[in-house]
Structure 1
Amino acid sequence: MPGTGPAVAPYGSWRSPISAREVSSGGVGVGGARGLADGSVLWKEQRPGEGGRSVLVRRSPEGEVRDLTPPPFNVRTRVHEYGGGDFTVSETCGTVFFSNFSDGRVYRVRPGGEPEPLTHGGDLRYADFLLDGRRERLVCVREDGRNADAPEPRNELVSVSLADGSETVLATGRDFYSSPRLAPDGKSFAYLAWDHPNMPWDGTELHLAEVAPDGSLRVDRRVAGGPSKSVFQPEFSPGGELFFVSDRTGWWNLYRLEGESVEPIRPMEAEFGAPQWGLGMSRYAFLRDGRLVCAYSSEGISHLATLDPENGDLREIRTGYSAIDGVRASGGSVFFTGGSPSEPSAAVRLDVGSEEVEVLKRSRERWPEAGYLSEPEPVEFPTEGGLTAHALLYRPKNRDFEGPPGELPPLIVMSHGGPTSATSAAFSLGLQFWTSRGFTVLDVNYGGSSGYGRAYRDRLKGNWGVVDVADCANGARWLAERGLVDGERMAITGGSAGGYTTLCALAFTDTFSAGASHYGVSDVEALAKETHKFESRYLDGLIGPYPEARELYRERSPIHNPDGLSAPVIFFQGLEDRIVPPNQAETMVRALREKGLPVAYVPFEGEQHGFRRSENIERALEAELYFYSRVFGFSLADPVEPVEIENL
């Protein structure tokens, strides 16, 4: 019968049930789930509809759900700027401690009570909390910016008295600290430390110390790691043994300290660790019977498993989730954040005995039917030097539409941030926004991405702006050569470091005919001079020491190669971004304007590095779609607010 099949319409113009408003405000960020002794469960929600405010939520054993942190409290820290590890809870009594974003202070919430300040304020930030109940103190990483004359803030491990909020320094003298851990008997203390120019995935040291009667640390010694070995997430077992993850063999695997020697638990070509962009990360936890429950990734897919440290027996638990993080255990339950290709991410509880999964809180309660969702296809393609690169391919998918005969879909190449990070196969409504309108999306895990071993991660050493760009460009060309996309309508988009890859691809290749930079780097020399402490020496490894390699920085900066630009670009920028300041985007806009290329600039008041307000997320998504419609020449199914495009 006429009208029963899909309608024919140009790719990009398909009407989709996935609106920008739904992407921006229909969900919350969820994570940090953990259980309490009384059967309560705690997790954190980031709510775009409340200006990106992060809230701690508790579900009682009876099922009552309530917020523990009322407005205006925002559970977030700016240690390392990226934060993480911003709260902890006493599993026995339920008292919560958290960092509040606006004033940086640590607050305490007793059961049934309201937040009360514990620390005294000032230019101090706190994260990565450890509750030491024996000594009535909170141990954490403190970032001290009180000395205005110092070139950068000072990072230390400190204890905070629960009685009066007084602070005592436990470890100092290193550029960075993380992961404070206390043995069950309270006598041993472990932590990670590293120094410039290393990032934590380059090289960290695992230290083990004795805890003196007065609570100070003594006989502090390095037991693993070093300048070229990355150690991740130390943990003491219930029996007091020190476990940790190390990439000493080229893969982040689990190890145990046996006296003065290090013993592998289960050697695998898989990653049990991850880049420590944020504090408080957890990829494994101990069960009551001494086994571990752990998340590991292989070929870009996460798995959950139990691991017996005595015999190395690994048994996978089939959860249906392909992206797993934030693993913690309490009683007979395991808590984690899980995502799959077809369902939104969720805070999850797993019963260890039955292996039944309970969804505590989804990031969104409604999502499109399968007929509008494109499934990821892991692909490998040839790239420079005879090597292979990885990506996830998403084809256009909308049950109501199909493209005209002979027309190929436009392509959007997505370059993830970091750059030492990775994309995953977890459900992304923002990505489906594009495929349901008729775009093909190639989500690239370029050389330098994590999840494929240290050798793959190290491909970007000295080659940022080269390897990542080549991999994105080669992935696009590979699709065009196979007749899967329109080679004349290929765009590249990315945020932060992905924005830098985007701009480099537009300035140094002729592969793409449009681009979108979300708070992207255009001048790596300016980034080296202006960025915050955590990343202030990051570029030493990615490009070269600054200022010795200043000419190389200029060569790798799109802003210094305006003659190479030949495609339209749209820029999105938070005006309070300290990681990539607004002048990076604004300088690039001027260069494009002066060259006469189509350019659009969309700044956002009050936003930092990454957009958290729902109205700004919505505006950015619609503006990018509008930009592509004008550049690629297709009509939009629904009206959107236009964006001014100069020189078009």
Structure 2
Amino acid sequence: MSKKSVKSFGEWKSPITSAVTAKKACDFQDLLVDIADNGNDVVYWSEIRVNEDGRTVVVSCEVGKAEPKEWTPAGFSARTTVHEYGGGNIFVHKGTLYFSNFSDQRLYKQLTPDSTPTPVTAADTSYRYANGHMSAKTNLIYIVREDHSNIESGQAKEPTNSVICLDPSTQQEKVLACGADFYSTPKVSLDGEKICWVQWFHPSMPWYDTELWTAKLTKSGDAVIEGSAKKVAGGKDVSVMIPRWTPSGELRFISDENNWWNVYESALDGSITNIYKMDQEIGRPDWLFGNQPYDTNPSCPGEYVVSCDGLLTLMENGVKKKTFNTGFTSHLLLNFSESGKVYCCASSAIQFSTLLSISTLDGKVEILKKSQPVDIDEGYLSEFTEICYNTTDGGRSYANYYKPTNKDYEGPDDELPPLLVKAHGGPTGSTTTCLQLSVQYFTSRGFAVLDVSYRGSTGYGREYRLKLDNKWGIYDVDDCCAAAQHLVDNKLVDKNKLCIDGGSAGGYTTLACLASKDVFKAGACSYGVTDLELEANETNKFHSRYLDRLIGVYPQQRDIYIQRSPIHNVDGFNYPIIFFQGTEDKVVPPNQAQMMFDSVEKKGIPCSLIMFEGEQHGFRKSENIQTALDGELYFYSKILKFEADLPDGISDKISISNYA
């Protein structure tokens, strides 16, 4: 083994460049399985391609027989904007692909990979569609529809959501369920006689209070039998999600009635049982449609596969049958096929997202596709250690700690590394156990990274998830600061080189830390909330009442919104900040970043604002992903006074005000 070179932390050279980070072929989103005429499984998935400006392309593969085939032609992108966040972009029925197209939000069908998509919904409407499927019994599509016509006519401030059925041959639409503020996951039973869906109302979010409903369908399948609709589960203080019918007519779903998101079953007699009881969470918050952490064997009603705590487990009638060693620690988008195979998107701390096929008969694992076309030497990858630490009000919080790792370098004996604390988005969300090149970019250059699951994060039960109620801007801030101090106290990082970054809600936490605490020396905010009052008034419908729970009821508690808004606490700002923002962001409008930058700049603090033209809430274009990553490191290097290994020209893209 060659001897490592000694070089200051932050100045190490790394093969994990921003270009490598952005070069990954895609991010996987939707995953579905269909059956070919010859009986083979055909797997469909969607790829968000950063090298095509974030275009979403559908790909399919006949398992064990053919190379993957691309479906989505130039000029199309399979991406819905229901709830603005989307998800549930595609579904497949007997070899025909259906997808929502980004540019016009119409629903299209495509018969073959080489055919031209044709619309199955009417032109010149203000409808958006998501989370659909077609019933083999009724030959109708059941889908969530979001109607923006009242907004465009000025008659309402919010779109109207409903569950509809759609006849693709006539483009005729009929409403099956309406009246709630939000809907998801409409599913028709295999016999075509019943439909289920999840619904919820303002000010709730889908991880707070939701309801699972069922209804009987008419013989034609295009209407609900009057008086048959009933609530099956959920309600106040219970989050239910992701219902699935079994072949024999039972209804499975996820509920947190016992504090943890577990799998439940509603039997034919109406009784409900927790069929996989455990003090761990199955699933994650429904920011996107299409979340699927479990699935039922379509050939055997008693069997189902569950992803939990890094494991993929086969259950039968509530009893653990076997656990599969896939070599990965995260398994998402589960699909159980009639062939006995399970398909999923898997990843781990040192492995890129990969589409897998797992045989439930012999456990054989096959790779269908990797999201990243290049392999990175593990000598440059840092594996995390989960830490638990004390925080304010007698609380405990969690974080994933990544130490600086580079097989070619080590730091001087008399030097401690800089720290980058990462505040996740949501704020109802969590850190990830998946390989994040954006983290490895920093650790391979000599930074320690701490990915914090502050109070209010998911993965630790409902009680922990609700700890952020009325405490956003307090507990998340306290926990990020306490996490950094924990590493300082253990002499793992340099207390004078503490940085923090975050996107969206994590951007808000970043700003709140810098505005109210004397812990971090620099920060980076990506599309973060700066003015809570503006956020309450200007954001999309899905988000619009979220702050009622996190902050307080607006406008009755407007004073709290003012108190906790970074834009109103610039007097407390003493440390440099860089902003990254998309000009087309409808979740956190770009005026928020501009106002915050202007205020910090006016105070004389070193700061920078980078606006990415055409980007929305999250960056999809390769060149912008690179600029954001290199720009953040460049900013820290100037503020903390070290010579970072950066590509030529980055200083031309990043202008720092009030910096000499």
What TM-score comes out, normalization by structure 2 length? 0.95
Give the deviation of 1:527 after TM superposition.
0.2
1:249 Cα deviation (Å)? Answer: 1.0
Distance 1:556 1:293 in 2: 45
Cα offsets for 1:400-452 (capped at 9, x unmatched): 11111210000000000011111111111111000000000000011111011
Q: Aligned with 1:628: secondary structure?
A: helix
Which of 260, 266, 281 matches 1:271? Answer: 281
Residue 126 of structure 1 pairs with residue 126 of structure 2? no
User: What residue number does 2:272 align with?
Assistant: 262
**Counterpart residue number, 2:148:** 145
Q: Is the 8 A contact 1:178 1:279 kept in 2?
A: yes
CA contact (8 A) 1:411 1:491 kept: yes
Distance 1:272 1:482 in 2: 33
User: What's the counterpart of residue 16 of structure 1?
Assistant: 14
Q: In the alignment, is residue 286 of structure 1 matched against residue 296 of structure 2?
A: yes
Q: Partners in 2 of 1:273 and 1:13 — Cα distance?
A: 39
- Secondary structure class of the residue paired with 1:535: coil
User: What is the letter of the counterpart of residue 109 of structure 2?
Assistant: R
Shift of residue 320 of structure 1?
2.0
Distance 2:396 2:287 in 1: 26
Q: CA deviation at 1:601?
A: 0.5
Query: How far did residue 34 of structure 1 move?
Result: 2.9
Q: Tell whether 2:78 aligns with 1:67.
A: no
Any idea what the Cα deviations from partners look like across 1:76-105, whole Å, max 9, x if unmatched?
Answer: 100011001110001xx2111000011000
Contact 1:136 1:163 in 2 (8 A): no
Query: Structure 2 residue aligned with 1:228, among 230, 237, 245?
Result: 237
Structure 1 residues 570-585: aligned runs within 5 Å: 570-585=578-593
Q: What's the C-alpha RMSD, in Å, of the aligned pairs?
A: 1.3
Task: Provide Cα deviations, 1:446-489, integer angstroms capped at 9, x if missing partner.
Answer: 11110110011011011111111111000000101110000000
Alpha-carbon distance in 1 for matches of 2:319, 2:276: 5
Match of 2:332 in 1: 325
Match in the other structure for 1:42: 44
Would you say 1:54 and 2:56 are equivalent positions? yes
Which range is displaced more, 530-539 or 251-260? 251-260
Distance 2:637 2:468 in 1: 34
Find 1:189's aligned residue among 190, 195, 204.
Answer: 195
Instruction: Report the counterpart of residue 426 of structure 2 in structure 1.
Output: 418
1:525 aligns with 2:523: no
SS of aligned partner of 1:627: helix
Deviations 1:590-644 (A, max 9, x none): 1111110000000000000000000100011111010000011101224441111
Q: Distance in 2 between matches of 1:455 and 1:370?
A: 37
Give the whole-Å Cα distance in 2 for the aligned partners of 1:531 and 1:461: 20
Q: 1:333, CA displacement in angstroms?
A: 1.1
Secondary structure of the corresponding residue to residue 591 of structure 1: helix
CA contact (8 A) 1:323 1:424 kept: no
Output the CA distance in 1 between the equivalents of 2:440 and 2:455.
25
Question: Structure 2: which amino acid aligns with 1:172?
Answer: C
The corresponding residue for 2:320 is: 313
What SS does the aligned partner of 1:269 have? coil
1:202 aligns with 2:208: yes
Query: Are the counterparts in 2 of residues 242 and 257 from structure 1 also a CA contact under 8 Å?
Result: yes
SS where residue 533 of structure 1 aligns?
A: coil
Aligned-partner SS, 2:439: helix
The residue type equivalent to 2:49 in the other structure is R
- Deviation of 1:539 (Å): 0.5
SS of equivalent to 2:30: strand
Alignment of 1:234-253 (within 5 A): 234-253=243-262
Q: CA deviation at 1:29?
A: 0.7
* Contact map agreement 2:634 2:646 (CA 8 A) in 1: no
Matched, 1:625 2:625: no
Percent of aligned pairs with the same amino acid? 42
Which among 490, 499, 504 is matched to residue 498 of structure 2?
Answer: 490
Specify the SS of the correspondent of 1:217: coil
Structure 1 residue 314, shift from structure 2 partner? 5.3
Q: Aligned to 1:88, which of 87, 91, 101? A: 91
Query: For 2:467 and 2:374, how far apart are their aligned partners in 1?
Result: 40
Q: Give 2:342's match in structure 1, choosing from 325, 331, 334.
A: 334
How many angstroms apart in 2 are the aligned matches of 1:313 and 1:14? 47
Paired with 1:584 and 1:292, the residues of 2 have a C-alpha distance of 50
Report SS of the residue matched to 1:232: strand
1:177 to 172, 177, 183: 183
> Structure 2: how far apart are the matches of 1:540 and 1:293?
37
Give the conservation status (yes or no) of the 8 Å contact 2:138–2:220: no
| 1:601 matched to 2:604 | no
3-state SS, counterpart of residue 149 of structure 2 = coil
Q: Secondary structure at the residue paired with 2:351?
A: coil
Greater mean deviation of Cα atoms: 330-339 or 35-44: 35-44
CA distance, structure 2, for counterparts of residue 154 and residue 290 of structure 1 = 36
| Structure 2 CA distance for aligned equivalents of residues 549 and 463 of structure 1 | 13
Cα distance between partner residues in 2 of 1:554 and 1:337:
42
* C-alpha distance after superposition, 1:163-183 (max 9, x if no partner): 111111111111001111111
C-alpha distance after superposition, 1:175-210 (max 9, x if no partner): 001111111111111111100000000011010111
Q: Which runs of 5+ in 1 are unaligned?
A: none
Secondary structure of 1:390 counterpart: strand
1:297 maps to 308
Tell me, in whole angstroms, the C-alpha distance in 1 between the residues paired with 2:71 and 2:137: 25
| Worse overlay, 132-141 or 517-526 | 132-141
1:32 and 1:336 in contact (8 A); partners too: no
Greater alpha carbon shift after TM alignment, 133-142 vs 402-411: 133-142
**Which string of whole-angstrom CA distances, capped at 9 and with x for unpartnered residues, describes residues 57-91 of structure 1?**
1223532322111111101100011001110001x
Further displaced range: 181-190 or 493-502: 181-190
Deviates more, 1:444-453 or 1:249-258: 249-258
> Displaced runs of 4+ in structure 1, greater than 4 A?
none
Aligned equivalents of 1:427, 1:511: Cα separation in 2? 28
Equivalent residue pairs, number: 640
Deviation of the 1:227 alpha carbon:
2.3
Paired with 1:145 and 1:516, the residues of 2 have a C-alpha distance of 34
1:254/1:248 CA distance change after superposition, 3 Å: same
